[in-house]
Structure 1
Amino acid sequence: MKVKYLGALLLTATLTFFGCDDNTGTLGIGMLPGSDGISAHTTTFNVVTRSVFADSVFAKTSTGYVGRFTDSKFGSYEASFLTELNCRDGFKFPEEYDFEKKTGRLTKNRITGVRLRVYYSSWFGDSLNACRMSAYELSEKLDRNRYTNIDPAKYYKPTDLLGRRAYTAYDTSVTDEERYATDSNGDLTYYPHIDFTLDKEKYGDDWYNRPASDFANSETFIENVFRGIYLKSDYGDGTILYIDRVDLQMQYEFYVLNDTTNIPYKRKQEGHVGEDSIAQTWMTEFASTKEVIQANRFENSKKVEDIVKNENEWTYIKSPAGIFTEAVLPYDDIYKELAGDTLNAVKLTFTNYNEKSDNEFSMSAPRYVLLLRKMEFKSFFEENKLPDNLTSFTVEHNSVATNQYTFSNIARLVTTCIKEKDAAKKKAKEEADADPTVTWNEEEWEKDWRTVYLIPVSITYDQSSTGQKTMTGIQNDLQPGYAKLKGGPAEEGGKVKNPLQLEVTYTTFNK
């Protein structure tokens, strides 16, 4: 009995040393065997990796991407953006001024202008590259398709052009005084944008005279009035705009009223004495918001697929919607060798090569990556999940010290998957005992069981007053980036040439 108590005490001390409260798993330990003590060891297992072409990714985001960029390695990719516009519940246009009732405000001219304003705060690539953007009115309602291979041709007609505008991401026509002007709170008042002037009669006067029921909410507005907008680049290569918002704005002509009498002020300027005071203002009436559908389209050149097929002595991750790295984890080998032992830590490291480029605006390694079971790939993003450190993990790129993505402990993933297979085998046996005609196809069951993806992601955090950060959201990275990683499926002498090493630290009982 003393020996058993001593063994239990040593086991507790060892597991505490390895910090295993949340990250260890037991492979077959049912009870403490007779022993004189325990010891910790480290061993390695080979992990085979390969590049996987990601035709599309789930992208539920309010940021739109528009432009074209060509990379010497991966070729070109184009980004375009489709969005509905939100209509506030119970929206009403301002009323025309009634001189008898002294109600309303607008003059008989009412709407004097309509424009589409595309706001952006950042971009990738050359800020002075000459580009041109086209805006189209959608002819069909958008489906709730959040994947980046959405086909814009299903939703718009090339004849429904709203306008074209030439631009550079950094607008040199804006003076420094205007660009850096601030309000009373010290916030910048200039917001980079691109304007499209719309037909005032079609998108102003006609809308003003429509029944109020058409503007009851966003659904009736989209169904009866305006389906949405498609923005695409039709000239220029080397710049991708990150669009924050698309506003449909209307310019109103209105009387300047006395606050007390609600009667128009009379002008005193020479040549206009006695006339009613009139002014104009722009108002954002409809805008792209998270309440309506927004969809990004990314189209990579065939060069990306060719790289995946032909380069097998390393792997890649590339965003947006380009390449994942797939890793096959050796669960069976771990179970066979370490059954009866306790996993303390399982470390998996992806090291990326230092890549040099003469291009001033070359892509850099994604900041964050997600390690995720292949079978959970779709549901993870579609259901807006967060990493649970059980079957999904995130890390930040260590670009300074090691140039690596290091998952320091995925032991819980290993034990979860091993136990999952053990449970499936037991269930299959029970079913076979009850019905001899039932068989278990282990190879088919294992099809995606041992496979994980390494995926570039973007992460959002909330920060408390004490400085503590809490992850609030994660999604596929939609900004340009890539990393070339050590590994790959290439073979030499019948064995994988460059396998990664899964480093396993475990506790065993001395015999």
Structure 2
Amino acid sequence: MDLKRLILGLAFGGVLFSGCNDELSQVGPSIQPEGDRSFVYADTFQVEASTIKLDSVYARTVNGLLGQIYDPLYGNLKTDYICQFYCPEDYKFAHEPIDGKVDSMAFFIMYNNGGYVGDSLAPMQAKIYKVTKPLDRNYYTNMDPAEYCDLQTLIGEKTYTAYDLSISDSIRKITDTSDPNYYTPNVRIRINTDVAQSFYDETINNPNSFHNQEAFNNFFPGFYVTTGFGTGNILEVAQSSFFIYYKYMSKTSAGNDTIIHTREQFNVTKEVIQMNQVENGNIEQLLQPNDEYAYIKSPAGVCTKVIVPTSVISEKIEGRIINGLNFSVKAMPQEEWLYAFEAPDYVLLLPEDSVQSFFLNNKIEDSVTAYLASYTSSSKTYSFGNISNLLKKHVESKPNEDLRLLIIPVARGTQNSNNYYGESKPVTTSITNYMKPAGVRLKKDKESMQMVVLTSKYND
């Protein structure tokens, strides 16, 4: 049997190098016993592809998107978010404000240099509303802010541009994060002082509201951060925080009274809830049937559905062993207009009925039911490699039911790991739904949607 496997492996490699055809190949007749001859087959099947809408995606993250943008092909995209804030147990102000009065409060939307999509000088308006009831742990992007907020009471607003022209180039060039002049791009929104004062008063009058995170969330459920007027830009929010500013009395080394300015800071962290809302508009043209392209748009826009004709394959290869099935999809060149969407760096291929559990359970690609592909710009290709394990599993369990797969844009988290030879290479630590504006057209003509299944059979 070991000899059979060796010969079969050599034959399989020969098929890969010699190209694909539908003819039966007899392997090694001069060295094999008559009854042990092996046969290798290469059968071509037609795959179907279409574009389907993603009503929402699972997005558990402390990062967010804020803004609105329009693309001539991919339509409109509007994004905002609701966030809670982390509170240490039994929190209280570090100092007592003079006369028990705070000075002001500000909310900060922080993002990295270049952390935006679209026109950096497009005027945008950010608006802040207070959340009025504790948030559910709903991390899907179709949440309705009206269920959690009083949208009639605005507590802060600010007009901004992603590139702040008031910041000098000399400040922007500072790379030392310990430098007091180091600049992190941000939008600073002043919040009504009444909100800050009620916050301090609660620490004095009802300290149990700060006993733990649950009690704090009940007292202060969070903020809804959205946009008012303006379109043309979306910020990729890296951190959301609010500061409460106040003064307190202190003593100098000489024993004299002095006034000190300070602040209290609260951040959105992974311990609390952030819910992102994504609205995609004008995408009907992407969903229209056509013979040329299938589309992908993120976040929570559309994705590509692939149907593998398992019933036909099962009948054709009955009694054989599935050895190989290399699968890839080709993309069209990206559009060339100003601020055109870029293709997502990674896409994930997995069965349609396993998408929800995959992201809920924080899974990664396993080369059995989930396959990751990176975008190769030179060939405009996403290659998933050998997906034969996926086909085998489906043929064994549902041979008469076609295999329905989705190609979904994802973000990949990695860390470097050394292999047996001491070589360092990145390994996947996380896969999440892609939460940046992106889009790509995938070819779905007959030639692009052909799939070659390599099988073998012993002549026992």
CA distance in 2, matches of 1:7, 1:498: 35
Partner of 1:374: 352
Partner of 1:11: 8
**Structure 1's 288 and 17: CA in aligned 2 closer, same or farther, altered over 3 A?**
farther
CA distance in 2, matches of 1:190, 1:5: 65
Partner of 1:112: 103
Question: Post-superposition shift, 1:287?
Answer: 1.6
Question: Post-superposition shift, 1:18?
Answer: 8.9
Structure 2 stretches lacking a partner, 5+ long = 17-31
CA distance in 2, matches of 1:5, 1:176: 69
Question: Post-superposition shift, 1:409?
Answer: 0.4
Q: Which deviates the most, 207-216 or 122-131?
A: 207-216
User: Alignment partner for residue 134 of structure 1, among 106, 127, 131?
Assistant: 127
Q: Which has the larger radius of gyration?
A: 1
- Superposition map of 1:178-327 within 5 A: 178-183=171-176, 189-204=182-197, 205-224=200-219, 226-257=220-251, 264-266=252-254, 276-284=257-265, 286-301=266-281, 303-327=282-306
Q: Which deviates the most, 390-399 or 175-184?
A: 175-184
CA distance in 1, matches of 2:192, 2:392: 63
Question: Is the partner of 1:408 in helix, strand or coil?
Answer: strand
CA distance in 2, matches of 1:214, 1:365: 46
Partner of 2:21: none
Question: Post-superposition shift, 1:185?
Answer: 5.9
Partner of 1:508: 457
Question: Is the partner of 2:237 in helix, strand or coil?
Answer: strand
**Structure 1's 52 and 197: CA in aligned 2 closer, same or farther, altered over 3 A?**
same
Amino acid at match of 1:291: E
**Structure 1's 355 and 191: CA in aligned 2 closer, same or farther, altered over 3 A?**
closer
Q: Which deviates the most, 107-116 or 239-248?
A: 107-116
**Structure 1's 279 and 177: CA in aligned 2 closer, same or farther, altered over 3 A?**
farther
Partner of 2:20: none
Partner of 2:393: 416
Question: Is the partner of 1:340 in helix, strand or coil?
Answer: coil
- Superposition map of 1:57-68 within 5 A: 57-68=57-68
- Whether 2:458 is the aligned partner of 1:481: answer no
CA distance in 2, matches of 1:5, 1:394: 33
User: Alignment partner for residue 455 of structure 1, among 394, 403, 408?
Assistant: 408
User: Alignment partner for residue 393 of structure 1, among 349, 359, 371?
Assistant: 371
- Whether 2:344 is the aligned partner of 1:344: answer no
More strand by share: 2
Question: Post-superposition shift, 1:201?
Answer: 4.0
Question: Is the partner of 1:277 in helix, strand or coil?
Answer: strand
Question: Post-superposition shift, 1:333?
Answer: 2.1
CA distance in 2, matches of 1:250, 1:7: 75
Question: Post-superposition shift, 1:464?
Answer: 4.2
1:48–1:499 Cα contact (<8 Å) kept: no
1:128–1:168 Cα contact (<8 Å) kept: yes
CA distance in 1, matches of 2:457, 2:177: 67
1:137–1:156 Cα contact (<8 Å) kept: yes
**Structure 1's 247 and 507: CA in aligned 2 closer, same or farther, altered over 3 A?**
same
1:110–1:254 Cα contact (<8 Å) kept: no
1:265–1:276 Cα contact (<8 Å) kept: no
Question: Post-superposition shift, 1:158?
Answer: 2.1
Aligned residue-pair number: 437
Question: Post-superposition shift, 1:17?
Answer: 8.0
CA distance in 2, matches of 1:255, 1:361: 52
CA distance in 2, matches of 1:37, 1:186: 74
Q: Render the CA deviation track for 1:164-223: whole Å, top value 9, x for unaligned.
A: 101110111012233233447689821111122223343234334332111112211111
Structure 1 stretches lacking a partner, 5+ long = 20-31, 97-105, 258-263, 267-273, 423-441, 489-496
Q: Render the CA deviation track for 1:221-262: whole Å, top value 9, x for unaligned.
A: 1112x11111111121110001122212122323444xxxxx
- Superposition map of 1:38-77 within 5 A: 38-77=38-77
Question: Post-superposition shift, 1:487?
Answer: 1.3
2:47–2:450 Cα contact (<8 Å) kept: yes
Q: Render the CA deviation track for 1:119-147: whole Å, top value 9, x for unaligned.
A: 11111111111111101111222221111
CA distance in 1, matches of 2:334, 2:186: 34
Question: Is the partner of 2:396 in helix, strand or coil?
Answer: helix
Q: CA RMSD in A?
A: 2.7
**Structure 1's 248 and 184: CA in aligned 2 closer, same or farther, altered over 3 A?**
closer
CA distance in 1, matches of 2:305, 2:363: 21
User: Alignment partner for residue 310 of structure 2, among 331, 343, 346?
Assistant: 331
Question: Post-superposition shift, 1:319?
Answer: 0.8
Q: Which deviates the most, 449-458 or 204-213?
A: 204-213
Question: Post-superposition shift, 1:329?
Answer: 0.9
Question: Post-superposition shift, 1:60?
Answer: 1.0
1:349–1:500 Cα contact (<8 Å) kept: no
Question: Post-superposition shift, 1:307?
Answer: 2.6
1:462–1:471 Cα contact (<8 Å) kept: yes
Partner of 1:92: 92
CA distance in 2, matches of 1:278, 1:186: 25
1:119–1:192 Cα contact (<8 Å) kept: yes
**Structure 1's 355 and 462: CA in aligned 2 closer, same or farther, altered over 3 A?**
closer
2:132–2:149 Cα contact (<8 Å) kept: yes
CA distance in 1, matches of 2:335, 2:278: 25
Partner of 1:271: none
Question: Post-superposition shift, 1:275?
Answer: 5.0
Question: Is the partner of 1:181 in helix, strand or coil?
Answer: coil
Taking structure 2 as the reference length, the TM-score comes to 0.87
Question: Is the partner of 1:118 in helix, strand or coil?
Answer: strand
Amino acid at match of 1:351: K
CA distance in 1, matches of 2:233, 2:353: 35
Question: Post-superposition shift, 1:110?
Answer: 5.6
Report the identity percentage: 30
2:334–2:343 Cα contact (<8 Å) kept: no
Q: Render the CA deviation track for 1:349-393: whole Å, top value 9, x for unaligned.
A: 2111124332x2100111100001011011111111111110110
- Whether 2:173 is the aligned partner of 1:176: answer no
Question: Is the partner of 1:297 in helix, strand or coil?
Answer: strand
Partner of 1:364: 342
1:346–1:410 Cα contact (<8 Å) kept: yes
